[in-house]
Chains A and B, each alone.
Chain A
Amino acid sequence: MADETKPPAPPASAPVPPGASADKPASAPVAPSAPVAPAAAVAPKPPAPPIAAKPAAPAVDLAGKTTTAAATAAKISSRDPDDSSPLVTRRIWLGMAWGAFSAASAAALAATGRFMFPNVLNEPPAQFKVGFPADFGMGVDERFKESNGVWIVRTADDIVHRASGFYVLNTTCTHLGCTPNFLAAESKFKCPCHGSGFRPTGINFEGPAPRPLERNRIVLAEDGQILIDKSRKFQFELGQWIDPDAFLQI
């Protein structure tokens, strides 16, 4: 019974068993004439000169017989000219096809993921100049709220640095991230979302906001203009407002 499921022991003209195809050197020279080679192309050759020179480790074919590269090569070279059985079997071909398809799909998926991260952003830069100190009066300046998301405040006596100068407040409410409005009449920032209120210093005093507004880095550029750097932030509750870069003393 068991014998019937196996291919018959290969005679000289039998197809190459799949196991032998793993033996690259043996099958490679014959590949050009595969798979449906005309009879003339596989006309009797002298027994495999280049392969025999390089002995390989014995391989076990499907029939369970130990064979060598030389023996396999001899078997292939002695293929019956009329034998049109494929050297690359359907199973091997399907394996290669699925492999190629999977690789292409994976590459396309990776490319798609990369596509979602553009190389250019249409967003305002984190560092920008806002003009000379003399351009600013006392109090809160709202000119850069829409474009850059900051208030520039000039004060005669800062609560932290105890000096006159500039600091910059980030317009992001510390509650849930809305943008508060500056109410000049009441001299406070009032968030329209949930009612948080902040003093012009940035200190929170009403509503759900848990901590003061954040300040950003403010320095004088070489040309004498005020340079603001939103990539650095200073949080009051962490004691960071004391940082010299958080205040521009004039």
Chain B
Amino acid sequence: MATETKTVKPQEGYGTRFWNWLTETQVWTSVFRHERPNTDRNRVLVMLSNVFLHLHPVRIRKSGVKLRYTWCMGGLSFFLFLVLTFTGLLLMFYYRPTLEYAYSDIVGLREHVPLGIMREIHRWGAHAMVITVWLHMFRVFMTGSYKPPREFNWSIGVIMLVLTLLLSFTGYLLPWDQLAIWAITVGSNMARATPFLGHEGPGAALLALGDVKLIHAADDARFALLGGTFVGEGALLRFYVLHCVGLPLGIAVLMAVHFWRVRKDGGISGPL
């Protein structure tokens, strides 16, 4: 094997010349802060200098990419959250959370709008997300991935499970059909029994100044939830704002913490 150094000059076709010109324009160099990925260093810089790519872990455990180990349920939950955010955003272009319009807008989303399955994607995606979140937690439990130092992330996950269920619950009211109204009526009636803060709850009777009850139907926990003493206009608007802004913001922040802690606690799953 003769060691012979040959300088190979690439043949410059139109494509190569265009590529060379493109990668030297100011627009290109302002977007990509690294040279072409032709050395190991530049390949690393591709990842490190890109806000999206840098989220990838530097290394990953073999078990982390095994479907039969992770079930991919965490990733699927996140994917479904993105789908729901996107389809929900599109639905907001047509849906008005008022007694007059809510139901007819929901019907219109099926009858009057092209690709009337957008609402169905949102609804089925929501059902699927509840399932994937449960399965994710089941997997984490069965693999013992909640153990220290991951117990903090498990707790974050429990809160996100609650937020997922609340997102489902608040979204349930928005179609404003009989199913929705009575489901939320029944569901929110539970808040009547909140200890001390629900007007039918234990201890609420103790909170009184003489004959004046401090906790009654118009100022208890259920009222705070519904914005009224029954499921009406106030409840629809409150649930809408919580469903579209409040809860998604909260769960998004917790997701950022959750993903960050996954990395910091030793990567996806696997024995520590």
CB of B263, distance to nearest CB on chain A (Å): 26
**Residues on the A chain within 8 Å of B94, using CB:** 118
A118 to B111, CA, bound (A): 10
Q: Are B1 and A116 in contact (CB under 8 A)?
A: no
**Residues on the B chain within 8 Å of A1, using CB:** 1-4
Q: Are A112 and B90 in contact (CB under 8 A)?
A: yes
A4 to B2, CA, bound (A): 12
**Residues on the B chain within 8 Å of A114, using CB:** 114-115
Chain B window 140-151, contacts with chain A (Cβ cutoff 8 Å), 1 for yes, 0 for no: 000000000000
Interface residues on A, range: 10 to 19
Assess whether B93 is interfacial by the CB under 8 Å rule: yes
> Given A120-B108, A120-B112, do A115 and B118 touch, yes or no (CB 8 Å)?
yes
In the complex, the chain A residue whose C-beta lies closest to that of B105 is A122
Interface residues of A in 96-120 (CB under 8 A from B): 111-112, 114-120
Interface residues of B in 82-119 (CB under 8 A from A): 90, 93-94, 108, 111-115, 118
**Residues on the A chain within 8 Å of B2, using CB:** 1
Of A114, A117, A119, most B-chain CB atoms within 10 Å: A119
Q: Are B4 and A115 in contact (CB under 8 A)?
A: no
Q: Are A118 and B4 in contact (CB under 8 A)?
A: no
> Given A1-B1, A118-B94, do A111 and B112 touch, yes or no (CB 8 Å)?
no
In the complex, the chain B residue whose C-beta lies closest to that of A3 is B1
CB of B58, distance to nearest CB on chain A (Å): 22
> Given A1-B3, A1-B4, do A119 and B112 touch, yes or no (CB 8 Å)?
yes
Q: Are B1 and A115 in contact (CB under 8 A)?
A: no
A114 to B4, CA, bound (A): 61
A1 to B8, CA, bound (A): 13
CB of A39, distance to nearest CB on chain B (Å): 25
Q: Are A115 and B114 in contact (CB under 8 A)?
A: yes
In the complex, the chain B residue whose C-beta lies closest to that of A116 is B93
CB of B240, distance to nearest CB on chain A (Å): 20
Partner of A111, one of B4, B108, B115: B115
Of A112, A115, A116, most B-chain CB atoms within 10 Å: A115
A120 to B118, CA, bound (A): 16
**Residues on the B chain within 8 Å of A115, using CB:** 90, 113-115, 118
A118 to B115, CA, bound (A): 9
A1 to B1, CA, bound (A): 7
**Residues on the A chain within 8 Å of B115, using CB:** 111, 114-115
A97 to B36, CA, bound (A): 25
A129 to B249, CA, bound (A): 50
Of B1, B90, B114, most A-chain CB atoms within 10 Å: B114
**Residues on the B chain within 8 Å of A119, using CB:** 112-114
CB of B170, distance to nearest CB on chain A (Å): 23
Q: Are B108 and A117 in contact (CB under 8 A)?
A: no
A112 to B115, CA, bound (A): 9
A112 to B113, CA, bound (A): 11
**Residues on the B chain within 8 Å of A117, using CB:** 114
Q: Are B90 and A118 in contact (CB under 8 A)?
A: no
Q: Are A118 and B112 in contact (CB under 8 A)?
A: yes
A83 to B108, CA, bound (A): 59
CB of B109, distance to nearest CB on chain A (Å): 9
A111 to B113, CA, bound (A): 11
CB of B26, distance to nearest CB on chain A (Å): 28
Interface residues of B in 34-84 (CB under 8 A from A): none
Chain A window 116-148, contacts with chain B (Cβ cutoff 8 Å), 1 for yes, 0 for no: 111110000000000000000000000000000
Chain B window 1-26, contacts with chain A (Cβ cutoff 8 Å), 1 for yes, 0 for no: 11110000000000000000000000
**Residues on the B chain within 8 Å of A111, using CB:** 114-115
**Residues on the A chain within 8 Å of B113, using CB:** 115, 118-120
In the complex, the chain B residue whose C-beta lies closest to that of A118 is B113
A119 to B111, CA, bound (A): 9
A to B CB contacts below 8 Å, 5 in the list:
A1-B2, A4-B1, A119-B113, A120-B111, A120-B112
Q: Give me the 5 closest cross-chain CB pairs, A-B, nearest first.
A: A120-B112, A114-B114, A118-B113, A111-B115, A115-B115
Having A1-B4, A111-B114, one finds 18 other A-B pairs with CB under 8 Å, namely: A1-B1, A1-B2, A1-B3, A4-B1, A111-B115, A114-B114, A114-B115, A115-B90, A115-B113, A115-B114, A115-B115, A118-B94, A118-B108, A118-B113, A119-B112, A119-B114, A120-B108, A120-B113
